[in-house]
A = this chain, B = another copy of it.
Amino acid sequence: MRVLVVGGAGYIGSHAVRELAKEGNDVVVLDALYTGHRKAVDPKAKFYQGDIENTFLVSKILRDEKIDAVMHFAAYSLVPESVKKPLKYYDNNVTGMISLLKAMNDAQVKYLIFSSSAATYGIPKKLPITEDTPLDPINPYGETKVMMEMIMHWADKADGIKSIALRYFNVAGASSDGKIGEDHHPETHLIPNILRSAISGDGKFTIFGDDYNTKDGTNVRDYVQVEDLIDAHILALKHLMQTNKSDVFNLGTAHGYSNLEILKSAKKVTGIDIPYTMGPRRGGDPDSLVADSTKARSVLSWKPKHENVDTVIATAWKWHKNHPNGYADI
């Protein structure tokens, strides 16, 4: 297969590029490098620097490279930033999706795998969260993902573009060989921040709130290892091309870990007594978010290898320990 990975220089996209190439697919990457890293892109992939909103460019790449399917990872994803700069998010995410679908329609490329988010559910009334949980986002980031799914729905009905939306829970970890991993500026994710605190010992790592309605008062989240997540993407693409039917799947392990449990696991994995600060709530954080992943496991035969978060953190540690400054160390 010839697959275009849009956003293939980002954290999750770069893992997709490697796994797709490893399985023998021809991979083409389009990334504007606004937040992605050129060094994260597998050398086996062909690289174009460009913006998803450039419909003409995307369409030309789809035709020139004879692309069979697209994986779309090119969305901004920082919730607090989306609240401060919503137009930046609607522009890049929603306008970007419209542009991509127009280009796909123009080039007659009919398959799309899309990274959606558990943020589409907002604050769910029941746990675990199934795919039928009502979509009710509480911030612009989550809203953009709902809008993108809605637009995909109509592009299927009218134009026959078949797509699978994968609603991610908390993606974590790094490639098992330690060669690529997470490197965001700013870094807002829990595990990289804990591990950086382990390395620096500066105690600047903060947990935001210990008065949530959870087992120990800190937020509970569902961590899915990034290579497991990509396995699901490849399974989803095969499923989509076999069934020719659009669908949506949650991607989480269905195990919930509190922030303090993650910290404890990180201490065990690293052997370091990691300093941290207990801060107040930062607003907009639901108590608990845990996936019901039955559908992905049964329909896609997805079997995440990292069901215990210790092994997720172990892959992240391998990356951060050897690249304390991320891609600047490569």
Contact = CB atoms under 8 A, between A and B. Distances in A.
A158 B85 contact: yes
B86 A154 contact: yes
A95 interface: yes
A102 B98 CA distance: 17
Interface string A141-167: 001000100110011011100000000
Given A85-B158, A95-B98, A151 B90 contact: yes
A94 B91 contact: no
Nearest to A161: B87
B105 A98 contact: no
Give the bracket for the number of chain A residues in contact with chain B. 20 to 34
A262 B233 CA distance: 55
A155 B86 contact: yes
Interface in A72-131: 83-87, 90-91, 94-95, 98, 101-102, 105
A154 B95 CA distance: 16
25 contacts: A83-B158, A86-B154, A86-B155, A86-B157, A86-B158, A86-B159, A87-B98, A87-B101, A87-B105, A87-B151, A87-B154, A87-B155, A87-B158, A87-B159, A90-B94, A90-B98, A90-B154, A91-B98, A91-B102, A94-B94, A94-B147, A95-B98, A140-B154, A143-B154, A147-B150
